[in-house]
C-alpha cells in the first residue's frame, strides 16, 4: 500500500487554512470565537470544535492502524482557534513521523475496530478507503460547512488544500 500520509496531511493542511480564515473573520468582525467554535449545523450534530478534533483523530488513527502502530489518544480539551491549530499540528507531526515502509502490506493487514455494536473487521485497504477516508472527509466537510454557513469566505480551493 502506498503511504496514506500525503492525502491525510493535505486534509489537515486544508483544515488549518480554513481555521486561519475563520479566526481572521471573527477578529475582523468582533465576533466571539466561541460563537463559531461551538456552532453546530443542527441540534443533534457535533459542534465545530468537535469536527476539527475528529478530523485530526481519524487521520492519526488511520496512519497508526495501517502502519501497525499503537493508536495514540489525544484529550479533547481545545477551546480556542490556537488550541485547535496545535491539535492539527500535533496530528501533522505524528503523520510525518510514520515511516513510509511501515505501510508495506497494509492493504492486506486485518484491522479490527471495537464498536458499540461489536467488533468490525476489515482489510487494511477497506479500512482506509471505505472507513477512514470517508470519516476524515465527513468531518472536514462538516467543519467547512459550518464556516460557510457563518459567512466565512472559504471556497473549494481552501477545502482541497491547494
Which CATH number characterizes residue 41's domain?
A: 1.20.120.450
Asked if the model's pLDDT at residue 16 lies above 80, the reply is yes
Could you tell me what percent of the chain has a pLDDT over 70?
Answer: 99
Total of domains in the chain: 1
Report how far residue 11's alpha carbon sits from residue 3's, in angstroms, rounded to the nearest whole number. 14
131 neighbors 66 (Cβ within 8 angstroms): no
Per-residue confidence band for 162, with pLDDT thresholds at 50, 70 and 90: low
Structural domain including 33 reads: 5-100+108-160
Predicted local confidence at residue 80, as pLDDT: 98
Per-residue confidence band for 65, with pLDDT thresholds at 50, 70 and 90: very high
3-state helix, strand, coil in the chain (%, to 5): 65, 5, 30
Place of cell 495501517: 66
Report how far residue 22's alpha carbon sits from residue 37's, in angstroms, rounded to the nearest whole number. 10
Q: Look up residue 147 and give its three cell numbers.
A: 464556516
Coil vs helix vs strand at 113: strand
Coil vs helix vs strand at 114: strand
Other Cβ atoms within 10 Å of 110 Cβ, number: 9
Place of cell 484529550: 75
Q: Look up residue 43 and give its three cell numbers.
A: 441540534
Asked if the model's pLDDT at residue 156 lies above 90, the reply is yes
Predicted local confidence at residue 161, as pLDDT: 76
Coil vs helix vs strand at 112: strand
Per-residue confidence band for 90, with pLDDT thresholds at 50, 70 and 90: very high
Specify the pTM: 0.96
Q: Look up residue 125 and give its three cell numbers.
A: 485497504
Coil vs helix vs strand at 3: coil
Predicted local confidence at residue 104, as pLDDT: 96
Amino acid at each position: 500500500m502506498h503511504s496514506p500520509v500525503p492525502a491525510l496531511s493535505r486534509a489537515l493542511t486544508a483544515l488549518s487554512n480554513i481555521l486561519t480564515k475563520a479566526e481572521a473573520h471573527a477578529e475582523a468582525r468582533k465576533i466571539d470565537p466561541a460563537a463559531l467554535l461551538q456552532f453546530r449545523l443542527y441540534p443533534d450534530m457535533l459542534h465545530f470544535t468537535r469536527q476539527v478534533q475528529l478530523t485530526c483523530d481519524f487521520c492519526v488513527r488511520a496512519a497508526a492502524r495501517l502502519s501497525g502502530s499503537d493508536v495514540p489518544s489525544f484529550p479533547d480539551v481545545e477551546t480556542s482557534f490556537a488550541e485547535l491549530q496545535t491539535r492539527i499540528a500535533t496530528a501533522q507531526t505524528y503523520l510525518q513521523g510514520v515511516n513510509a515502509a511501515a505501510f508495506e502490506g497494509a492493504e492486506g493487514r486485518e484491522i479490527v475496530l471495537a464498536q458499540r455494536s461489536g467488533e468490525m473487521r476489515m482489510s487494511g485497504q477497506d479500512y482506509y478507503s471505505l472507513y477512514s477516508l470517508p470519516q476524515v472527509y465527513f468531518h472536514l466537510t462538516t467543519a467547512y460547512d459550518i464556516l460557510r454557513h457563518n459567512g466565512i469566505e472559504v471556497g473549494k480551493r481552501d477545502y482541497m488544500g491547494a
